[in-house]
Structure 1
Amino acid sequence: MKKILLLFIFSLPIAAFAQEQSIGLRIGEPISITYKTFLDDKVSFEGMIGRGSANSSAYYRKVFDNNRPSPGAFYLNHSAGGGISLNGRVAYHEDITAEFDITEGTLLAFGGAGLQLRSINVEYAYQQTADVPAVLYESKDNIDFGLEVFGGGEYYFEDQPVSVFAELGLMMEIADRPGHVKLQGGIGARYHF
């Protein structure tokens, strides 16, 4: 309850400047609940909380190799799950309705940048050395923090408080594995109030 109250108090200054607010669901990477508010006619702020998928097997293998539980530890495999993703981002919007000869509703193109924090639990199976058959396990939280750039389009229905969107972007880690880039994208819908 304290976290909800803190989130509400934190969002009050943003809501005070908002012209239009919306809440929706984004399906893709990461799958998220999204809250978006326009700060003026062309600039929006968006917050997302959701579930991010695991990185590639090679990614976690390299994390293990760079941070072994003991000097001679031999990697066997891993499993990853329980991921969470938090995003905060700002976007610039441009009306492109006329360019596509749309007669009903509004189509906005957007592009922006933001920050993303991802956490996922990884359980490693390993042996102390390659010749010792005993399998050991170690669980670690893999936390990634990075910059995100994205672009896409959002269609606003004329007589309904609903919009649909599609976007594509890149997230580059600046903590944990600096320089690692992850392709992300999604589609979704929002209810406007």
Structure 2
Amino acid sequence: MKHVALISLLIIVVVSAHAQQQGIGLRLGLPTGVTYKRYLSTAKAVEFGIGTSPRNIDDRYYKNSFKHMSRYDNYVYESVDVSSAVYMQARVLFQYDLAVTDTEGKFQWYWGAGAMLKLAKVDYWYRNPANNNEYLHDRRTDLDFGPEGILGLEYTFEDIPLSLFAETSLQLELADRFTFRLLAGTGARYNF
């Protein structure tokens, strides 16, 4: 009797693990990296991502940051070099089927909420007009954190364990400065 209960429990665990799909894949965009998604039910999922951005893609963002930091008052911005950017995301997603005719796979749209943390090394070059335009350099670690809202579309193939997705998100950055950032990405996940 013990063996039957143990085998039954093992079968339930294996079947439920198979029913709770998950996927791992690549995301291109901002950020570019690895994404892991776990489907908790047909309508809910959690997603975790870690990635980076192409070097200096955020130049305009950091130029605006320079202008908003009081430590750089009375200095003239010259340039910025951003390196070693790491983005970390955690999200809860709510998924809804889309009725699309003449397709074998499954389309879903989703929305959700999450949080993003970004760390980057930033080198600022600037001038001091009060001292014969002395050329100055400052290296700092930038930490950005805040909640984000997500809206996306996902297609899952019927016969291949693969999903394609495209999404956009709006992040409310609370630290290092208070601002909104629009992010977008597309990618693919292998489902298992």
Q: Same fold, TM exceeding 0.5?
A: yes
Q: Which amino acid aligns with 1:135?
A: Y
For the 8 Å contact 1:88–1:115, the answer to whether it is kept is: yes
The residue identity in structure 2 corresponding to 1:125 is: W
Equivalence map 1:105-120=2 (5 Å) = 105-120=105-120
Q: For residues 117 and 177 of structure 1, what CA distance do their matches in structure 2 show?
A: 13
Counterpart position of 2:38 = 37
Aligned-partner Cα distance in 2 for 1:46–1:122: 28
Q: Could you tell me which residue of structure 2 aligns to residue 85 of structure 1?
A: 87
RMSD between aligned residues: 2.4
Code of the residue aligned with 2:138 in structure 1: it is E
Aligned length: 174
Structure-2 separation of matches of 1:74 and 1:166: 39
On the 8 A contact 1:52/1:118 being kept in 2, the answer is no
Q: Show the counterpart of 1:10.
A: none
Q: How does 1:1-193 map to 2 (within 5 A)?
A: 19-52=20-53, 54-57=57-60, 59-65=61-67, 66-68=69-71, 73-96=75-98, 99-178=99-178, 180-193=179-192
| Residue 177 of structure 1: how far off its partner (Å) | 1.3
Unaligned runs of 5+ in 2: 1-16
Unmatched segments (≥5 aa) in structure 1: 1-15
Instruction: Pick the structure with greater CA Rg.
Output: 2
1:17, 1:123 → 2: CA distance? 48
SS at match of 1:95: strand
Q: Secondary structure at the match of 1:158?
A: coil
- TM-score for the superposition, normalised by structure 2: 0.80
Distance 1:181 1:21 in 2: 31
C-alpha distance after superposition, 1:132-154 (max 9, x if no partner)? 24322110111110111111111
How far apart are the structure 2 equivalents of 1:157 and 1:80? 38
